[in-house]
Amino acid sequence: MSCIYSCSSTPSFFAPFKLQICSLLIKFKARIHCALGGTVAEPKITTAAEPLLLNAVRGEDVERPPVWLMRQAGSYQIICEKYPSFRERSENVDLVVEISLQPWKVFKPDGVILFSDILTPLSGMNIPFDIVKGKGPVIFNPLGTAADVEQVREFVPEDSVPYVGEALTILRKEVDNKAAVLGFVGAPFTLASYVVEGGSSKHFTKIKRLAFSQPKVLHALLQKFATSMARYIQFQADSGAQAVQIFDSWATELSPVDFEEFSLPYLKHIVDTVKQTHPDLPLILYASGSGGLLERLALTGVDVVSLDWTVDMAEGRRRLGPNIAVQGNVDPGVLFGSKDFITNRINDTVRKAGRGKHILNLGHGIVVGTPEENVAHFFEVAKGLRY
């Protein structure tokens, strides 16, 4: 049994976009009420020309939930060996396109996500960084003062990351509306955590010290990230992205009251700004460990909340309400089980989500070492579902 394994160093927290799978990835009007009393909105008529994922998010009548996986990837071990630097791989248009398309060629998922990282904009904001083998993301000059924040430039993606736009344009043409092309960005608090902590963190003492002792400094940094990420999403959409996922996993290190101060307003700023220019662009928000914040996540105005596996899907649907779509939320560890077990968990998740407004996914990315044939089975079962 061959397995999925890492071909690089410890990634940044958002490894969905490191695509660490390096071995070959082989080969009703139905129920509207969910379990536990949750409901979804009445489905609309499907627009056939649009990708299934977009139709599902918009509440149109679809025959099955669309499916893609965080950390979905293809066989790029040779690419890893030839280009060992993650940044080299993720800043080369041809490599970005090749790696992004590999899962599409093997599995035909309903979402094809850009190969990149949430930290990619940092260099363009005058925040030097690298992703170091064996260590992960490293911020060379961590921020901690008002003077440091003043040196941070607002992000101009057209100038700093033109390769992202070029890659998305090519992906849109290659996929040809048979799946949705997905972009992504990091959320302000999560990005701020990286640049203040100097990289990944276990206790988040530096960012919390800044938040609780110099909140004006942190708010100034968060505003720069909010303005910049809104612009980055608009750029991605203009370049070909048909939906964009926002990652704010570090925000779940905040208490609810602190989330309301240091994360929620900046997420709302991003959503409000993007919706002014791209009102029909679906925005997905993912924050692992967010069970205590679900109702607050919905207040951001995003179209989809992605649930991790620690939240029961039916309960999550009920708490979020009928008008917001959900994504997830099979435990990645399920992919270590038998094929029957995997099938049962998929069916359970889809049943609890109810018909429509659901994107089937894992509750996090694929775990290193996951049997590759089980990933194939996940897609096979998912694409064979019918409401």
What's the rounded Cα separation, in Å, for the pair 83 and 92?
10
Residue range 119-139: average pLDDT? 92
**Which contacts qualify for 138-145: CB closer than 8 Å, 24 or more apart?**
138/198, 138/199, 139/194, 139/195, 139/197, 139/198, 139/199, 142/195, 142/196, 142/197, 142/198, 142/206, 143/195, 143/196, 143/221, 144/196, 144/206, 144/210, 145/217
Q: Which two tokens stand for residue 367?
A: 């775990």
**Among candidates 296, 379, 375, 385, which has minimal Cα distance to 4?**
375
Q: Where are the alpha helices (DSSP H) in 263-309?
A: 264-277, 294-298
Residue range 250-261: average pLDDT? 96
109 in Cβ contact with 72 (< 8 Å): yes
Residue keyed to tokens 């100038």: 159
Q: Is the pLDDT of residue 25 over 60?
A: no
Q: What is the pLDDT of residue 133?
A: 77
Q: Strands 358-362 and 325-330, how do they pair?
A: parallel
137 in Cβ contact with 194 (< 8 Å): yes
Please tell me the total number of residues recorded for the chain in this structure.
Answer: 387
* 181 bridge partner residues: 112
Residue range 240-252: average pLDDT? 95
What's the rounded Cα separation, in Å, for the pair 29 and 61?
9
Residue keyed to tokens 């070959």: 24
295 CB neighbour count, 10 Å cutoff: 12
Distances (CA, A) of 40 to 56, 61, 239: 11, 12, 32
What's the rounded Cα separation, in Å, for the pair 209 and 205?
6
Q: What's 290's DSSP letter?
A: -
* Angle, alpha carbons 335-337-339 (nearest 5°): 85
Q: What is the pLDDT of residue 24?
A: 36
What's the rounded Cα separation, in Å, for the pair 370 and 13?
18
Q: How confident is the model at residue 323 (pLDDT cuts 50, 70, 90)?
A: very high
User: What is the pLDDT of the chain when averaged over all its residues?
Assistant: 88
What's the rounded Cα separation, in Å, for the pair 17 and 71?
6
Q: How confident is the model at residue 88 (pLDDT cuts 50, 70, 90)?
A: confident
Q: Is the pLDDT of residue 1 over 70?
A: no
CA quadruple 239, 244, 250, 256: dihedral sign = positive
Q: What is the pLDDT of residue 4?
A: 40
Distances (CA, A) of 229 to 64, 172, 330: 32, 21, 28
Q: What is the pLDDT of residue 40?
A: 53
Q: Where are the alpha helices (DSSP H) in the chain?
A: 52-57, 77-82, 86-90, 93-107, 146-150, 157-160, 162-175, 188-197, 205-213, 215-239, 256-262, 264-277, 294-298, 313-320, 339-353, 372-384
For 187-234, write each residue's pLDDT tens digit.
999 999 999 999 888 899 999 999 999 999 999 999 999 999 999 999
- Please tell me whether residue 38 adopts helix, strand or coil conformation: coil
372 in Cβ contact with 24 (< 8 Å): yes
Q: How far is CA 311 from the centre of its chain?
A: 17
Q: How confident is the model at residue 315 (pLDDT cuts 50, 70, 90)?
A: very high
pTM of the model: 0.88
Q: How confident is the model at residue 126 (pLDDT cuts 50, 70, 90)?
A: very high
pLDDT above 70 covers a percentage of the chain that reads 85
Q: What is the pLDDT of residue 312?
A: 97
Residue keyed to tokens 């899907």: 313
Buried b (16+ CB within 10 A) or exposed e, 305-318: bbbbbebbbbbbbb
88 in Cβ contact with 159 (< 8 Å): no
For 339-359, write each residue's pLDDT tens digit.
999 999 999 999 999 999 999
